[in-house]
Structure 1
Amino acid sequence: MIEKILPAAVVAVEAYDDPPEAVLLPEEEPCVAKSVDKRRREFTTVRHCARQALARLGRPPAAIVPGERGAPGWPDGVVGSMTHCAGYRAAVLAEAGEIITVGIDAEPHVPLPEGVESAVTLADERVHLAELAAAHPGVHWDKLLFAAKESVYKAWFPLAREWLGFSDARLRFDPAGTFTAELLVDGPRVKGEVLRGFQGRWLAEGGFVVAAIAIAV
């Protein structure tokens, strides 16, 4: 599913359950040693997906240990992103020589819980979401915005190594399947210019909303 909204240079592997062959490497075990079963299964399966993606890139298996702010620690020369939610896990990877950064997020295609929208949106974004909902009621735009902002953060952090809050980017959606994210804080330099924002793509399919951003070299 998620490969539909990513460039060809990005390898995507996804799972809709937790296969028995999904196991952790020894370096990863301490990360979830005290976690509940649900968290452990998500953590394990998404890394199983990532190792399958590494294999498709022609690279050996590697431990993927969370680093600063929980960001995955990828092997040298690889960029990637992971996501997991109820019923879905995915990892996407690419060679750093082809893709500068990538960020993905998937969420169940249901409305945000009451009270969450105001915490994760700007005032003008709420107006935008209301307009979209009136014109295209088949999409839970509030949940899509949440997923898109998560993808923005995941694409931003490897470049900036700084926190980016929900109020630090303004999103606009095109119902045809794209979105833009305008950064409201100073961004790092990318390809010789200050990063001002991101272009992304989105999809609502199979009970999920997914959002993805990838910047090519």
Structure 2
Amino acid sequence: MIQQILPPAVAVADTTADLLDSPVFPEEEPYLADSVEHRRREFVTTRRCARTAMTALGVPPAAVGSGPKGEPEWPAGVTGSMTHCDGYRAAALSHSREFHSIGIDAERHEPLPDELVTYITGPDERAHLRELERGHPAVHWATVLFSAKETVYKAWYPLARRWLGFRDARLTFDPDAGTYTARLLVPGPVVDGVRVAWFTGHWAVRDGLVLTAIAVRRAR
């Protein structure tokens, strides 16, 4: 599903079912120590998706560890992102010569608690959400925004290697084009000799899911 909002050069593998017969690489076993069952299901299935995407890229399947902030540790020459929510797991990978970073996220298309909306947004974003809700009431816009902010962080971290808070980027959505812009409110990393001031991404709602994606392409 999420392939539809990513560039063709990005390899995607996704599933709506857990793939528990998938092997776990020895290097990954420490991350599963004392894991509860649902965590193991997420871990094993997303890494199966990641290795399927590696194969599509012509990259030998490899272990995917986790860094200090929980970020995936990809094999050399690869960049990507993984996501999981109830009923959906996915991985999106590319050659790092094509993209600096990729961020994907999936959430159930359900209302977000009011207290969480207040925590992740600024006043101008809440006004934007109210405007979107008036024009397109069938969409749970706060959940779309939450998912998009998760994607922004996943695209940001490999470039900046530092934290980005929910309120450190101001998001606006184009409901007709299925796109969004994240304007950074903190200094961004320098990429291809230019300081990043914003990210642009795509979003979609289908089959009970919110899907968001960003792919930061390398300069030609």
1:7-156 alignment runs, 5 A limit: 7-156=7-156
Structure 1 segments of 4+ aligned residues over 3 angstroms from their partners: none
Determine the C-alpha separation between the residues in 2 that align with 1:20 and 1:74.
Answer: 21
CA distances 1:25-62 after superposition (whole Å, capped 9, x unpaired): 11111101211100110011000000000001111111
Which SS does the other structure have where 1:28 is aligned?
helix
Contact 2:20 2:45 in 1 (8 A): no
Q: CA deviation at 1:67?
A: 0.7
Instruction: Show the counterpart of 1:200.
Output: 201
Determine the C-alpha separation between the residues in 2 that align with 1:72 and 1:101.
Answer: 12
Determine the C-alpha separation between the residues in 2 that align with 1:24 and 1:117.
Answer: 37
Determine the C-alpha separation between the residues in 1 that align with 2:129 and 2:180.
Answer: 12
Instruction: Show the counterpart of 1:180.
Output: 181
What TM-score, normalized by structure 2, do the two folds share?
Answer: 0.97
CA distances 1:101-160 after superposition (whole Å, capped 9, x unpaired): 110110000011241100011110000001101110111000000000000000000000
Contact 2:19 2:48 in 1 (8 A): no
Q: Which amino acid aligns with 2:8?
A: A
Contact 2:181 2:198 in 1 (8 A): yes
Q: Which amino acid aligns with 1:124?
A: D
Percent identical pairs in the alignment equals: 55
Q: CA deviation at 1:208?
A: 0.3
Contact 1:23 1:45 in 2 (8 A): no
Contact 1:77 1:96 in 2 (8 A): yes
Q: CA RMSD in A?
A: 0.8
Which SS does the other structure have where 1:134 is aligned?
helix
Q: Which moved more, 1:203-212 or 1:21-30?
A: 21-30
Determine the C-alpha separation between the residues in 2 that align with 1:152 and 1:205.
Answer: 20
Contact 2:111 2:142 in 1 (8 A): yes
Determine the C-alpha separation between the residues in 1 that align with 2:23 and 2:133.
Answer: 41
Contact 1:9 1:99 in 2 (8 A): no
Determine the C-alpha separation between the residues in 1 that align with 2:147 and 2:126.
Answer: 15
Instruction: Show the counterpart of 2:166.
Output: 166
Q: How many residues align?
A: 217
Give ranges in structure 1 of 5+ residues lacking alignment. Answer: none
Contact 1:49 1:90 in 2 (8 A): yes
Contact 2:147 2:211 in 1 (8 A): yes
